[in-house]
Chain A
Amino acid sequence: DAGITQSPRYKITETGRQVTLMCHQTWSHSYMFWYRQDLGHGLRLIYYSAAADITDKGEVPDGYVVSRSKTENFPLTLESATRSQTSVYFCASSGTGNQPQHFGDGTRLSIL
């Protein structure tokens, strides 16, 4: 089925480890986004991408790395995880930057 999928759904890791969250969409949307959602802060944009090989920082990019070698994939990497990065991470996509975004089911990440 077409859609946007995130993996893993749940992840527990330790501080200092590298962890990669995956996002895959089948709509051929140009734009893809990564958000984190924390109580009291709402959805905060980490990084976004307008097309393959084009990425831009969002509101809270520090400590995260993204890449987009293929239109359909937009992985998010925490190079050295910290406890403050414990959060729920959502990937989203849209046809253009200002069109409605469609969200994946999210990844709940806990860093011990």
Chain B
Amino acid sequence: QKEVEQNSGPLSVPEGAIASLNCTYSDRGSQSFFWYRQYSGKSPELIMFIYSNGDKEDGRFTAQLNKASQYVSLLIRDSQPSDSATYLCAVPTSGYSTLTFGKGTMLLVSP
């Protein structure tokens, strides 16, 4: 049973649109959630984290957490071609001091 699930995509959106990336997790006790962006051939880069239910906004990025439904979303407003990357969701691994990463969703933003 996978602990963190993401749709592999690709998710294709036109420039200027809102991109919505979703992640579901299995551990109801999870308290923190992280979103990473990974460009092709590069390392993962932390872009957002969220600890409590609701929304957290940072520039064009909004993380949304719904603990009751066990999903966390990342919204990217005014998507740009430079946002084209794979987005990884990460959740603390139950019982361990590590993170479990989803396999990532590839986002393609077309000009």
The interface of chain A, by Cβ under 8 A from chain B, is 31, 33, 40-43, 45, 48, 50, 58, 90, 96-106
Contacts and interface: CB of A to CB of B under 8 A. Distances in A.
Interface stretch (B16-24, B74-82, B90-98): B90-98
A42 B97 contact: no
A57 to B, nearest CB: 10
A16 B83 CA distance: 41
A105 B42 CA distance: 7
A100 B98 CA distance: 10
A102 B46 contact: yes
B44 A90 contact: yes
Interface in B94-111: 96-99, 101-104
Given A102-B46, A105-B43, 14 more contacts: A33-B98, A42-B103, A48-B97, A48-B98, A50-B97, A58-B98, A90-B43, A90-B44, A97-B97, A98-B99, A100-B46, A101-B46, A101-B90, A103-B44
The 6 A-B residue pairs whose C-beta atoms are closest, nearest first, are: A97-B97, A42-B103, A103-B43, A98-B92, A43-B101, A100-B46
Interface residues of B, number: 20
Contacts of A50: 97
Nearest to A90: B43
Contact of B44 (A41, A43, A58): A43
Contacts of A103: 43-45
B49 A43 contact: no
A98 B43 contact: no
Question: Among B32, B42, B44, B98, which residue has the most Cβ atoms of chain A within 10 A?
Answer: B98
A45 B103 contact: no
Nearest to A108: B41
Contact of B88 (A40, A43, A58, A105): A43
A71 to B, nearest CB: 16
B48 to A, nearest CB: 10
A96 to B, nearest CB: 7
Given A98-B32, A98-B99, A42 B104 contact: yes
A72 to B, nearest CB: 19
